[in-house]
Chain A
């Protein structure tokens, strides 16, 4: 992850000091806070309910996280460039209903390809408006969201389409280990996190993404082609949303124009709880994965504890504010 502390040569020689610094770099690492929150939440629910902490339920929580979690990966890329994507839920829903409706009487693979093209194209539209016309991402994606949501309803006549193709619902299958199913959807989600994490931290593209998000002007002056980077981020995000659409068809085997109405805000929630800064340039996809898990753990655990699910919204909201607060303090300290 970006921001990892480099050890000095001296520390290399002095083991005790290094150990202490390792601990400090761990504690100050961006995913430490989210990880701690996740662990605490799991422990609390494991102690307070008899049904939370078992492999079946934990696998279920992972499955429940994949759609918003995948959406949030695309959202992370965009937020890293100090943008925001309000349209991602709508784009995913349009992708899924295009696939669902086209799959009726057509080859499901063809339908999936068309859905993918639709999502990527819409990502490109967002990217072009943000990078070439330099319009604010908030406004661009707000507009695109309205258009896309209406398009999904017009296209389907507000009807939902049941999915019967095994190919389209394959992400809900998977090998059972000790009676617990680890779905391909969960594997895809984790795999995608790893791939994007690698791209962000180990490739020059990733360095540019962080540079653009941290300070666009400085990135431009240092020779980075900012427009190209921005466009590439929105296109990759569109591709990720297409995978989220596939995830959604696996989880809920229906293409529903009214589903995932809060996909955009839920994905932003996961990103922020995962420690990525809304100001851009700081954070990463592993944190986002943890952030999405935290939200699912809260929802699952509170339901199992028999607590009104409105409290889940309270807890999630508090976590969002805490996460933004921590980020704010970290930035202030850095500026001093």
Chain B
């Protein structure tokens, strides 16, 4: 997703990152090696912002699965959320190199449509991971988390765990980002609260420092807040610092989404009440499976958006809501442990 275990990027950084990314892409993609040389098929992996461990995990899982099949891999990366230009260039290079399939984590839902159509016309199988394209038929199949479902899970858990007379607050990431908007909507549905009934809401950048700052501001205005949704786990940890500084640790129900190992550890430590885990490695593996069938005999995947699954992680299970413990979570989490 464009978010965000950590959304990044100052404008200044973008300028340089773009320049770097172009240079990188030229190296990664401009090299020789047509897709068919030596009988080994080549697949292209177009990743997003690898400084974010979520995308790092997704890319590595895809690459490892492809290499296990003996394929060659061409890689490219957009350096910041929304950096579609680098991805377009990378895909053009991959078409020129006659790859058999392209697995793309789109930086934008629509910006890649033209170049991906050209890829398809060349007989290249296009697979999206993490977030769908618009229309989603632009890719032969999409492997992604259902973020509405993820938001719903933590919304339901929060509702069941909330103290009486709850004041609910939401710490979001830019809602023009589709996964962010989906989680937001899912949480409201799951909790059963209208956006207008929230005690407070604020936009963060999906990072710990911005999560802390906005939580401080909300608590200052509404000291009664005791249920907090956060867009991701770093934001949750920042919010927790603000809550703790206010002397309200243990009195606020904090929920999040992602399932990074550091986030699951925070569930175990009681910082976060519950989180909805995503499975980036499954997304990559499923994409490679689909590519394998296509390379073997031209079979295309069934299509549409394939949910890569969401798991509620909490050590305080509630009735009627399936969940796993933080212990299980630590065995299945992604990112640095």
Contacts and interface: CB of A to CB of B under 8 A. Distances in A.
Interface of A: 49, 51-52, 56-57, 60, 64, 67, 86, 89, 142-143, 145-146, 149, 153, 157-160, 172, 248, 251-254, 256-265, 299-300, 303-304, 306, 308-310
Contacts of B335: 159
Contact of A261 (B8, B237, B262): B8
Nearest to B221: A304
B217 interface: yes
8 contacts: A159-B262, A252-B208, A252-B238, A262-B205, A299-B213, A304-B221, A308-B203, A309-B202
Interface stretch (B38-46, B49-57, B63-71, B275-283): B49-57
A51 B225 CA distance: 14
Contact of B336 (A159, A252, A254): A159
Contacts of A146: 13, 16-17, 20
A261 B214 contact: no
A194 to B, nearest CB: 26
A64 B56 contact: no
A197 to B, nearest CB: 27
B143 to A, nearest CB: 23
B234 interface: yes
B241 interface: yes
B292 interface: no
A239 B207 CA distance: 25
Given A146-B20, A254-B237, A258-B51, A303 B12 contact: no
B76 to A, nearest CB: 17
B209 A256 contact: yes
B27 interface: no
B218 interface: yes
State the 3 A-B residue pairs at the shortest beta-carbon distance, nearest first: A304-B221, A303-B217, A258-B6
A51 B219 CA distance: 10
Given A159-B335, A252-B209, A265-B12, 4 more contacts: A49-B221, A256-B209, A300-B217, A309-B203
Contacts of B200: 303, 306
A157 B8 CA distance: 16
A64 B213 contact: yes
Contact of A252 (B17, B212, B217): B212
Contacts of A308: 203
Nearest to B244: A253
B15 interface: yes
A261 B13 contact: yes
A321 B299 CA distance: 58
Contact of B209 (A86, A143, A153, A248): A248
A60 B262 contact: no
Contacts of B9: 261
B220 A252 contact: no
A334 B202 CA distance: 44
B12 A253 contact: no
A303 B218 contact: yes
A112 to B, nearest CB: 19
Interface of B: 6, 8-13, 15-17, 20, 51-53, 56, 200, 202-203, 205, 207-209, 212-214, 216-218, 220-222, 234, 237-238, 241, 245, 262, 335-336
Contact of B10 (A153, A264, A310): A264
Nearest to B219: A60
Given A143-B16, A145-B16, A149-B13, A60 B53 contact: no
Contacts of A261: 8-10, 13, 205, 207
Nearest to A261: B8
A257 B8 CA distance: 11
A172 B208 CA distance: 16
B241 A253 contact: yes
B220 A256 contact: no
Contacts of B241: 252-253
B328 to A, nearest CB: 22
Given A160-B208, A261-B207, A256 B234 contact: yes
B167 to A, nearest CB: 13
Contact of B217 (A142, A145, A299): A299
Which among B200, B220, B222, B238 has the greatest number of chain A C-beta atoms within 10 A?
B220
A215 B205 CA distance: 40
Contacts of A56: 220
B82 to A, nearest CB: 14
A142 B12 contact: yes
Given A146-B16, A252-B241, A259 B207 contact: yes
A248 B212 CA distance: 12
Contacts of A86: 12
Nearest to B198: A306
Nearest to A266: B10
A145 B212 contact: no
A67 B12 CA distance: 19
Contacts of A299: 213, 217
Nearest to B214: A303
B336 A158 contact: yes
A221 B71 CA distance: 66
B25 to A, nearest CB: 16
Contacts of B203: 308-310
Contacts of B217: 60, 299-300, 303-304
Contact of B216 (A64, A149, A262): A64
